[in-house]
Amino acid sequence: MRAIDHHAWTNRWRDWHPVEKGLPAIGLLTLTLILPPLTTAPLVLAGVMLTTVYGAGIPWKTLLSVLAAPATFLLAGIPFLAISIDFTSGFALTFSPEGFQLALQTMIRALAAMSCLAFLILTMPLTDGVLLLRRMGVPAGIIELILLIYRLIFVFAERALTGRQAQAGRLGYSRLDRSVRSLGLLGGNLFQRALEQARRLEMGLMARGYTGELRVLTPRWKLSWMRLAVGVAGVSLTGLASSWLARGLL
Amino acid sequence: MNEPLLAVRDLEYVYPGGVAALRGLDLRIEQGRKLAILGSNGSGKTTLLLHLNGLCKPTRGEIRLEGQPVSYDHRALNDWRRRVGLILQEPDDQLFAATVSQDVSFGPLNLGLSNADARERVREALEALRILHLADRATHTLSFGQKKRVAIAGVLAMRPEILVLDEPTAGLDSHGVTHLLGALEQLHEAGATLVFSTHDVELAYAWADDVAVFHDGVVLRQGETVAMLSDRELLRRARLRCPLLLEVAEALGVEVSAASPFRSREALLVLLQERCAGQG
């Protein structure tokens, strides 16, 4: 998570308007979901991965590790689509060609869709992404909540880490039963500290005139019509190429 | 005697559990001075500071802002907190926004400023603390010292008349302390009244105009720094030590007063060199 966050804040396209990144990514995601997967998904996957690495400057290693987690789930789950279980005459496992095709389609489509999301989370800090949500009409209260949680996750993650290290230093994780006990204590302790933290944060905010609303300035981006046009053109081209391929192949 | 900017009289605060944190305390905050509230850990300094901008309401006693007794209704509190800015010891208790400039903009927007004016205040505050380059950074990627400065900027952006800091140097390395005190000194020269709590007699001696010696919920004495810190009996009662520089000065027979304070290590080195040259 630290790595994702780090790249989101420091990548080459960090200063771009969120819409310039969000619109093409969501456009490609939509194409992936509505067009035939076998022709569209590989194009989207390759296009998005190359853009992420050579455009935004995210290292291959980071991108692949982000995609690896969902890919593992896919690999574990997908084969079962290619196998059908038959209970009519006892119990039989049979391999079905249609099932195999379905498995392949699902796999490639899911990966392509994941790559679009990976592109977004690797090139856009959560705070920018939230702006897109605001544009889409999500209520201010929910947005405040998301942003506060984002900020506090890092505060508590640090506490949790130091707490764990302190416990480990006193052999709290030397045996399985002790580990379970230590982890429970740590959790309880963090919960208490979270409440305490909330109280003190409220004091700190009250000292700055907090009256129930967390209003802050939103950054000023300049929308580049040029970049947006390139993005939209890329999506359209992918769509056209995919349809053309589909007519040729199928 | 002039009316102080903020005056605290006979302040008492009893925690909901019945433990008294402050027991009839007097404090004067004079315009344009640097006041150190000096006391050992756990003596109730933080509780006292929370009273200075109305975050805690005293059980008994009176606080006057420019001679007027403060009131705790909503509008009066807002005005009070704008004029008296409080910076907590732990910056994570104060920073809530995801980026630096967003966090600093919180106070100005609460004052009802327009976006353009708030933006200007943010720039001004970040510049005053020499952290303009951090404006677009994510809050959680900052070092402790940087967070501390952002927390101060967040309060400074509201242009308070009095800046109250709880243990401003706690947790900072010597470079961080120098940097922070430099920035605060500049604010002071620009006219800000500074109040800070500390347990560090050396810091109070080196930097404060006045010291209020605080112990066990009361201010034992408040006055000019050298006079307070050379009073051995007073320090003993507050369980504090005499600052090293002052002890050395006494041992060497140097007259120290508010007029010739002998406050820096440079002054000490010059003196020692003179003495050694005289012997040799």
Instruction: Name chain B contacts of A126, Cβ cutoff 8 Å.
Output: 98
Question: In chain B, what percentage of residues exceed pLDDT 70?
Answer: 99
pLDDT value of position A249: 67
Q: Are residues A107 and A155 in the same domain?
A: no
A contacts of B115 (beta carbons < 8 Å): 217
Mutate to test the interface with B, among A217, A220, A221 (most CBs of B within 10 A): A217
From CA B153, how far away is CA B149, in angstroms rounded? 6
Higher pLDDT, A214 or B60: B60
Looking at the domain assignment, is residue A33 inside a domain?
Answer: yes
Give the residue on B whose Cα is nearest the Cα of A8: B138
Whether residues A43 and A115 fall in one domain: yes
Q: What is the pLDDT of residue A94?
A: 79
> Are residues A127 and A147 located together in one domain of the fold?
no
Checking if the pLDDT of B11 tops 90, the result is yes
User: Mean pLDDT over residues B91-95, rounded?
Assistant: 91
Query: Residues B275, B252: contact at Cβ < 8 Å?
Result: yes
Q: What percent of chain A has pLDDT over 70?
A: 99
Give the integer Cα–Cα distance in Å for A242 and B158.
56
Res B163 pLDDT > 90 = yes
pLDDT of residue A187: 92
Domain ranges in chain B are: 6-240, 243-280
Within 10 angstroms of residue B23's Cβ, the number of other Cβ atoms is 17
Is there a single domain that holds both residue A157 and residue A240? no
Say whether residue A206 is in contact with chain B using an 8 A CB cutoff: yes
Interface of B with A (CB under 8 A): 50, 53, 55, 78, 81-82, 85-86, 88, 90, 92-99, 101-103, 105-107, 109-111, 115, 118-119, 122, 136-141, 151, 154-155, 158
Based on the domain organization, do A99 and A12 belong to the same domain? yes
Does residue A104 form part of some domain?
Answer: yes
What percent of chain B is helix, strand and coil (3-state, nearest 5)?
45, 20, 35
Beta bridge partners of B84: B162
Residues 6+ apart with CB under 8 A from A48: A25, A28, A112, A115, A116, A118, A119
Q: Which residues pair with B34 in a beta bridge?
A: B194
CA distance B129 to chain A (A): 18
Are B47 and B221 a contacting pair, CB within 8 Å? no
Q: Which two tokens stand for residue B115?
A: 């976006």
Whether the CB of A143 is below 8 Å from some CB of chain B: the reply is no
What is the CATH superfamily name and number for domain B6-240? P-loop containing nucleotide triphosphate hydrolases (3.40.50.300)
- Which residues of chain B does A215 touch, with a Cβ-Cβ cutoff of 8 Å? 106, 109-110
- Per the structure, the count of domains in chain A is 2
Residue B214 main-chain phi, psi, to 5 deg: -115, 130
Q: How far apart are CA B23 and CA B13, in angstroms?
A: 7
What pLDDT score was predicted for residue A154? 87
Per-residue confidence (pLDDT) for residue B237, from 0 to 100 = 94
A145 interfaces chain B, CB cutoff of 8 Å = no
Select from B110, B118, B137 the Cβ nearest to the Cβ of A217. B118
The model's confidence at residue B80, banded by pLDDT at 50, 70 and 90, is very high
CB nearest to A216's CB, from B92, B93, B103: B103
User: Which residue of chain A is at minimal alpha-carbon distance from B85?
Assistant: A207
Write down the pLDDT at residue A52: 95
The 10s digit of each residue's pLDDT in B32-52 is: 999 999 998 878 899 999 999
Question: Is A84 within the bounds of a domain?
Answer: yes
* Rounded mean pLDDT, A92-121: 89
What pLDDT, on the 0 to 100 scale, is given for residue B280?
62
List, as one string, the DSSP characters of B14-55: E-TTS-EEEEEEEEEE-TT-EEEEE--TTSSHHHHHHHHTTS
**Count of CB atoms within 10 A of residue B265's CB?**
10
pLDDT top residue among A79 and A250: A79
Token pair recorded at residue B151: 């927390």
Q: Coil, strand or helix: which one is B99?
A: strand
Residue A211 lies in a domain: no
In whole numbers, what is the pLDDT of chain B averaged over residues? 91
pLDDT > 60? residue B272: yes
Give me the helix-helix angle, B115-128 and B100-110, nearest 10°.
120
The verdict on A81 and A185 lying in the same domain is: no
Q: Which residue, chain included where needed, has tokens 């920018």?
A: A128
A53 reaches B (C-beta below 8 A): no
Q: Please, are residues B136 and A219 in contact by the beta-carbon 8 Å criterion? A: yes
Cα dihedral across residues B262, B266, B272, B273: positive or negative: negative
My answer on whether A146 and A44 are in the same domain is no
- Cβ pair A216:B110 closer than 8 A: no
Task: Spell out which residues of chain A touch residue B82, defining contact as CB-CB under 8 Å.
Answer: 209
> Residue A118 and residue B22: Cα distance in Å, rounded?
55
Q: For A188-243, how does the pLDDT look when each residue is reduced to its tens digit (9 = 90+)?
A: 999 998 899 888 999 999 999 888 888 888 888 888 999 999 999 999 999 999 98
Mean pLDDT rounded to a whole number for chain A = 89
> Per-residue pLDDT for B1 more than 70?
no
Residue of B140, B141, B148, B166 best to disrupt the A interface, most CBs of A under 10 A: B140
Chain A's closest residue to B155, CA to CA, is A208
Residues from chain B that touch A3, judged by Cβ atoms under 8 A, are none
User: Are A120 and A243 in a shared domain?
Assistant: yes
User: How large is the average pLDDT for residues A113-135?
Assistant: 89
Q: Which residues contact A201 (CB under 8 A, 6 or more apart)?
A: B93, B94, B96
Alpha-carbon gap, residue B156 to B152, rounded angstroms: 6
pLDDT of residue A218: 82
Test A216 with B53 for CB contact under 8 angstroms.
Answer: no
CA distance A205 to chain B (A): 6
A214 touches chain B (CB under 8 A): yes
Whole domain around residue A56: which residue ranges? 2-133+222-249
Domain annotation covers residue A184: yes
Return the residue of B nearest to A196 by Cα. Answer: B93
